[in-house]
């Protein structure tokens, strides 16, 4: 329902329910002259995982945190395992880290595939686009539940998940990822089967998504080259993007963060860093704070090691979301596949970041997916069956540790404080907490809020359905995970 | 039959698991049984007013509702308002929507342990005051009263699991579509018996270790995890080791314990999940229907009789000592 009311400074409009965002989302718009003047993004679900963890044994986090999110479950496991390992001062064996990275990469690849095929593309099958040259093709490929691409993606993902059945027991919600490595030692048979499943997944990417070897997509270096790509469903999306000028819809702030993707014994496969105004810089996790000024939360701005989660039952103004506002050195950052690829130095990603809009976010994800199949194959080939995949790690009686990882949707951090053998503090900042953050004390909007400003309310056919399609494209371009956002 | 699917206070993982259904896949399974999804938050086109118009029509009875699936617990807080989870754009809480819709539905299905019993969403101090649809932990009555019956006569069907196995949900829906699920098909906590009558222990590949009480001491060792590592597969409902997950997986197959995620209050074991509580060195929580004295007697006998192969492998991360075929023993 788009509840509208006119108040001071423009008409107000409330958008929701917002589907295909892994949870629910409410967007409140102030509109003027048919355009968005101001957006307030509300994550309408509070569960309270952080207080739930307090008082428990540290390793219980490994059971509970994956259940924050059914789509980034392994990412949550990885962050918790790293946080405990950091507190203990002892991490996984090299092969344990490698198999954990493979488990994590499979989840992230599956998430990218689902976002494109199930969550994002469907909106182009709306009646407002019925007269476009690509409308029939989109309908055939992406209508929910019926589209050929949707069904093929569901089947390909189900098969890819066999890798996790083998290594992690099941997906989602595994206990296989531990601070010291992984609980199952894969042998020769497992390595061969995993490679066979990955070959099947590669075939899907080639035939459906890219219409060519993924490496050809990875070889693209500029936005004009990208827009000339014709193969597969990626080509269909790029024709739409050119027609609707998605490059300039919902631009980002040009400030990107990545904690670094897939930590092995000696490196991360995708580099960590900060990217601001075209300049790379190292990340200082000590400069992260959460501002509570516009959240329904009590307490002061704090670094997550000192942070608390005390919901305000009055839901008092100026709060308008359960989501806290994370800031790096006092400013918002955008996170996600685009950010990761920009920071890792991929030339196409860096060219896309000049505009940083819907095209950039979605193409950044496709680019990362194209890179991930090779990453997964390399990891699987490097499995050494005779190696040690786990070493016991005992959490300390007292200590702190941070687990900083990259989920499909971007940077995920867990900050753990242990006192007298129990969890005394546990704070989580999820990717969508960064991207869909509310305003901070200075009134600076979060990345989505900023990206929505100035968007026209009328759809391509001139109608206003109450839930503008341009707003939906921008929201979904971030690949939000709303259940993670507040947790 | 039509299905309305709502995601309440949960992680969405049951939907994510459901989409792993294979051969045939989810959409073919549903279509084959004449099941049509009216709206699902992850699988439908409609947003905004298109959705609220539909919900309103179903809640008033203007449109018939065959199956209401709810995934996730339902937040009652703060102070009974349900405002810890509002359905966006509607000004109403999920709690209010579920209470309006459930009495209209022919069948109500709680998908996952959160929707069934509260589950992980109600863990710890239950910060959002969440409950299951018709149970709160082991206690009858959730946001719907114990006497609630859907239009078809059944209580809320609890497809418990964290997450659910895709087969459990699909088969429940197929059985409802066929009219084949009656009160006798549900166990004492309203779980479909077709999967809840089994124990996770059944088909566990660690059964030989269990027979000899040859126990893993640490995670990643392949011995039985009951004695030291918190495994309660001998007490937990589920056919997880009879029909595997995601190809050939299960929790115990991957080397970590069953934590009984299909059971009410599994989220509060009152001990760390991966450590077995013991009294005087003896594990608390033996197989549910075995006399304790017998268990102790058999355990000490079988421990004494453990072959070296089984004892060594139990504390290894893989088979170190293979079985020697008959006639080739050294």
**Cα separations in angstroms, B73 against A168, A357, B173:** 26, 36, 20
Cβ-based contacts of A166 with chain B (< 8 Å): 246-249
For residue A202, the enclosing domain spans: 3-486
Residue B314 token pair: 């139990």
Q: Of all helices (H) and strands (E), which one includes residue B107? A: strand B105-111
Alpha helix ranges (H) inside A115-222 = 135-142, 148-160, 162-168, 188-204, 214-218
Query: Which chain B residues in 269-328 lie under 8 Å from chain A, judged by CB atoms?
Result: 272-275, 317-318
| Chain B: closest CA distance from residue A445 (Å) | 20
pLDDT given for residue A434 in this prediction: 98
The reply to whether B120 touches chain A by the CB within 8 Å rule is yes
Distance from the Cα of B290 to chain A's closest Cα (Å) equals 28
How would you list the strands of the sheet with A26-32, edge to edge?
A: A3-7, A10-15, A26-32, A35-42
Cα A359 from Cα B166, distance rounded (Å) = 34
| Residue among B15, B124, B275 whose CB faces A51 most closely | B124
**B254 touching A (Cβ < 8 Å):** yes
How many angstroms separate the CA of residue B300 from the nearest CA in chain A? Answer: 28
**Per-residue model confidence (pLDDT) at position A406:** 98
pLDDT, mean of residues A415-430: 98
Gap between the Cα atoms of A100 and B79, Å rounded: 42
Q: Would you call B256 and A175 a contact, using CB atoms and an 8 Å cutoff?
A: yes
Nearest to A16 among B37, B46, B48 (CB): B48
Which of B5, B20, B59 has the most A C-beta neighbours within 10 Å, making it the best mutation to test the interface with A? B20
Residue A307 has pLDDT above 70, yes or no: yes
Query: Which region holds residue A482: left if phi is over 0, alpha if psi is between -120 and 50, else beta?
Result: alpha
Which ipTM score applies to this complex? Answer: 0.97
Determine whether the interchain pair B25/A154 forms a contact, defined as Cβ–Cβ distance below 8 Å: yes
Q: Do A144 and B20 touch (CB under 8 A)?
A: no
pLDDT greater than 60 at residue A5: no
Q: Number of folded domains in chain A? A: 1
Query: What pLDDT does residue A79 have?
Result: 98
User: Nearest to residue A17, comparing CAs of B252, B57, B51?
Assistant: B51
- A263 CB-side CA count, 13 A: 20
pLDDT score recorded for residue B296: 86
Known binding-site residues of A for Mg(2+) equal 50, 428, 487
| Facing residue for A175 by CB, picked from B127, B245, B251 | B251
Q: Which residues in chain A touch residue B46, judged by CB atoms under 8 angstroms apart? A: 19
What pLDDT was estimated at residue A9? Answer: 64
Q: Using a CB-CB distance cutoff of 8 angstroms, which residues of chain A are in contact with residue B42?
A: 19-20, 22, 118-119
- pLDDT (tens digit per residue) in B111-169: 999 999 999 999 999 999 999 999 999 999 999 999 999 999 999 999 999 999 999 99
Contacts of A53 in chain B (CB under 8 A): 124
| Residue-wise pLDDT tens digits, B175-203 | 999 999 999 999 999 999 999 999 999 99
**Across chain A, what does the average pLDDT equal?**
96
CATH at residue A153: 1.10.645.10
The whole-number pLDDT of residue A6 equals 54
Tell me if B88 and A25 make a contact (CB, 8 A cut-off): yes
Q: What is the mean pLDDT of residues A137-154?
A: 98
**pLDDT at site A324:** 98
Give whole-number Cα distances, A355 to A22, A337, B85, B126, B205, in Å: 26, 15, 35, 44, 54
Cβ–Cβ gap A46/B120 under 8 Å: no
Q: Rounded to 5, what percent of chain A is helix, strand, coil?
A: 45, 20, 40
Pairing of strands A35-42, A177-178: unpaired
Assess A55–B contact: CB distance below 8 Å, yes or no: yes
Closest-CA distance, B273 to chain A, in angstroms, reads 6
Q: Taking CB atoms and an 8 Å limit, are A169 and B78 in contact across chains?
A: no
Burial of A99 (0-12, 13-18, 19+ CB in 10 A): buried
A19/B163 touch (CB, cutoff 8 Å), yes or no: no
Decide if B127 touches A, using CB distance below 8 A: yes
**Interchain contact, B46 vs A51, CB within 8 Å:** no
Measured between CA atoms, the residue of chain B closest to residue A160 is B246
Tell me which of B255, B267, B318 to substitute to probe the interface with A (most A C-beta atoms closer than 10 Å).
B255
Asked if B156 reaches chain A (Cβ–Cβ under 8 Å), the answer is: no
Strands B105-111 and B157-159, sheet pairing: parallel
pLDDT of B292 reads 83
Of A25, A55, A176, the CB nearest to B256: A176
Residue holding tokens 């341009």? Answer: A470
Beta bridge partners of residue A415, listed in sequence order: A402, A427
Q: Which of A484, A264, A486 is nearest to A378 (CA)?
A: A264
User: Annotation-wise, does B251 bind a ligand?
Assistant: no
CB contact under 8 A, A26 and B86: yes
C-alpha–C-alpha distance, residues B34 and B28, integer Å: 10
Q: Give the chain A residue whose CA is nearest to the CA of B26.
A: A154
Cis peptide before B133 (omega within 30 of 0): no
Q: Which residues of chain B make contact with A182, given a CB cutoff of 8 A?
A: 220
Q: Is residue A4 predicted with pLDDT exceeding 60?
A: no
Residues of B in contact with A157 (CB under 8 A): 19-20
Q: Which residues in chain A have their CB less than 8 angstroms from residue B220's CB? A: 178, 180-185, 389-390
Q: Look at B89 and A2 and tell me if their CB atoms are within 8 Å.
A: yes
Chain A CB contacts of B120 below 8 Å: 64, 67
The C-alpha of B231 sits at a distance from chain A's nearest C-alpha, in angstroms, of: 12
Structure confidence at residue B293 (pLDDT):
87
**Whole-number Cα distances in Å, B80 to A46, A377, A380, B115, B129:** 14, 51, 50, 18, 8
Which residues, 6 or more positions from A257, have their beta carbon under 8 angstroms from its beta carbon? A273, A274, A275, A283, A328, A333, A334, A335, A339, A343, A410, A411, A434
Per residue in A66-85, pLDDT (tens digit) is 999 999 999 999 999 999 99
A167 shares contact with chain B (CB less than 8 Å): yes
- Domains, chain B, in order of start with CATH, read 2-195 (3.40.50.700), 198-330 (4.10.480.10)
Chain A to chain B Cβ contacts (< 8 Å): 282
**Chain A residue closest to B85 (CA)?**
A45
- Picking from B44, B47, B38, the residue whose alpha carbon sits closest to that of residue A146 is B44
Determine whether the interchain pair B90/A1 forms a contact, defined as Cβ–Cβ distance below 8 Å.
yes
Q: Nearest CA of chain A to the CA of B150: how many Å?
A: 26
Token reading at A84: 């405990």
Confidence at residue A2, expressed as pLDDT on a 0 to 100 scale? 46
Which residue has tokens 């006639």? B327
Of B11, B121, B274, the CB nearest to A70: B11
**Is B44 at the interface with chain A, CB within 8 A?**
yes
Asked whether the beta carbons of residue A146 and residue B27 sit closer than 8 angstroms, the reply is yes
Whole-number pLDDT of residue B282: 80
- Pick out chain B residues at pLDDT < 50: none
Q: How does pLDDT run across A357-387, given as a tens digit for each residue?
A: 999 999 999 999 999 999 999 999 999 999 9
A73 contacts in chain B (CB < 8 Å): 11, 13, 16
- Closest-CA residue of B relative to A168 is B254
């Amino acid at each position: 329902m788009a509840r509208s009311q006119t108040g001071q400074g423009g008409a107000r409009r409330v958008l929701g329910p917002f589907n295909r965002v892994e949870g629910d989302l409410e967007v409140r718009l102030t509109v003027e002259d048919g355009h968005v003047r101001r957006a307030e993004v509300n994550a309408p679900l509070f569960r309270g995982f952080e207080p739930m963890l307090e008082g428990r044994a540290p390793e219980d986090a490994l059971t509970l945190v994956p259940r924050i999110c059914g789509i980034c479950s392994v990412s949550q496991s990885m962050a918790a395992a790293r946080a405990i390992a950091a507190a203990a001062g002892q991490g996984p064996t090299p092969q344990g880290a490698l198999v954990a990275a493979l488990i994590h990469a499979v989840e992230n690849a599956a998430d990218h595939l689902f976002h494109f095929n199930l969550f994002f593309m469907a909106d182009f099958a709306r009646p407002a686009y019925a007269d476009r040259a690509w409308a029939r093709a989109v309908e055939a490929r992406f209508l929910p539940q019926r589209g050929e691409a949707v069904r093929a993606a569901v089947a390909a993902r189900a098969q890819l998940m066999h890798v996790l059945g083998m290594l992690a027991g099941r997906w989602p919600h595994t206990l296989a990822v531990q601070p010291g490595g992984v609980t199952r030692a894969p042998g020769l048979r497992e390595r061969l089967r995993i490679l066979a499943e990955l070959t099947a997944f590669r075939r899907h990417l080639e035939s459906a998504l890219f219409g060519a070897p993924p490496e050809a997509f990875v070889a693209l270096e500029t936005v004009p080259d990208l827009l000339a790509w014709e193969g597969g469903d990626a080509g269909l999306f790029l024709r739409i993007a050119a027609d609707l000028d998605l490059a300039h819809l919902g631009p980002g702030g040009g400030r990107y963060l990545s904690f670094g993707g897939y930590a092995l014994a000696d490196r991360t496969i995708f580099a960590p860093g900060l990217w601001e105004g075209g300049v790379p810089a190292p990340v200082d996790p000590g400069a992260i704070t959460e501002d509570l000024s516009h959240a329904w939360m009590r307490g002061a701005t704090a670094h997550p090691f000192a942070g608390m989660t005390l919901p305000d039952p009055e839901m008092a103004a100026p709060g308008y979301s359960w989501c806290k506002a994370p800031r790096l050195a006092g400013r918002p950052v955008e996170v996600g596949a685009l950010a990761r690829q920009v920071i890792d130095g991929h030339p196409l990603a860096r060219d896309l970041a000049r505009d940083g809009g819907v095209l950039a976010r979605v193409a950044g994800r496709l680019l990362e997916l194209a890179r991930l199949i090779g990453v997964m194959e390399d990891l699987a080939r490097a499995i050494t069956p005779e190696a040690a995949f786990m070493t016991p790690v005992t959490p300390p009686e007292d200590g702190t540790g941070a687990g900083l990882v990259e989920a499909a949707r971007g940077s995920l951090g867990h900050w753990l404080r242990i006192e007298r053998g129990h969890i005394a503090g546990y704070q989580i900042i999820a990717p969508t907490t960064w991207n869909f953050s509310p305003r901070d004390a200075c009134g600076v909007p979060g990345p989505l809020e900023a990206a929505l400003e100035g968007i026209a309310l009328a759809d391509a056919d001139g109608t206003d359905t109450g839930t503008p399609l341009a707003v939906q494209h921008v929201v979904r371009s971030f690949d939000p995970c709303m259940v993670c956002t507040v947790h | 039959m039509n299905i309305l699917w709502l995601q309440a206070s949960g992680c969405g993982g049951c939907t994510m698991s459901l989409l792993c259904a294979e051969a045939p896949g989810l959409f073919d399974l549903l279509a084959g049984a004449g099941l049509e999804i009216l709206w699902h938050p992850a699988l439908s086109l409609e947003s905004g007013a298109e959705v609220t118009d539909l919900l309103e029509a179903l809640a008033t009875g203007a449109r018939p509702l065959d199956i209401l699936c709810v995934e996730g617990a339902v937040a009652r807080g703060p102070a009974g308002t349900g405002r810890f989870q509002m359905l966006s754009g509607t000004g109403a809480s999920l709690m209010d929507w579920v209470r309006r819709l459930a009495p209209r539905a022919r069948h109500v299905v709680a998908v996952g342990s959160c929707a069934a019993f509260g589950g992980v969403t109600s863990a710890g101090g239950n910060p959002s005051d969440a409950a299951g649809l018709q149970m709160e932990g082991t206690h009858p009555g959730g946001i719907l009263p114990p006497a609630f019956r859907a239009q078809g006569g059944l209580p809320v069907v609890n497809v418990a699991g964290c997450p659910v196995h895709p087969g459990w949900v699909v088969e429940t829906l197929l059985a409802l579509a066929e009219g084949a699920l009656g009160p006798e098909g549900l166990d004492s906590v309203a779980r479909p018996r077709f999967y809840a009558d089994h124990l996770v222990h059944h088909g566990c590949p660690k059964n030989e270790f269990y027979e000899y009480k040859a126990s893993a001491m640490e995670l990643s060792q392949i011995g039985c995890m009951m004695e030291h590592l918190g495994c309660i597969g001998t007490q937990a409902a589920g056919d997880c080791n009879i029909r595997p997950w995601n190809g050939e997986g299960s929790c115990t197959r991957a080397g970590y314990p069953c934590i009984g995620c299909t059971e009410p209050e599994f989220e509060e074991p009152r001990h760390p999940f991966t450590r077995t509580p013991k009294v005087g060195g003896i594990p608390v929580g033996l197989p549910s229907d075995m006399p304790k004295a017998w268990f102790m007697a058999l355990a000490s006998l079988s421990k004494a009789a453990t072959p070296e192969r089984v004892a060594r492998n139990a504390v290894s991360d893989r088979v170190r000592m293979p079985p020697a075929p008959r006639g080739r023993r050294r």
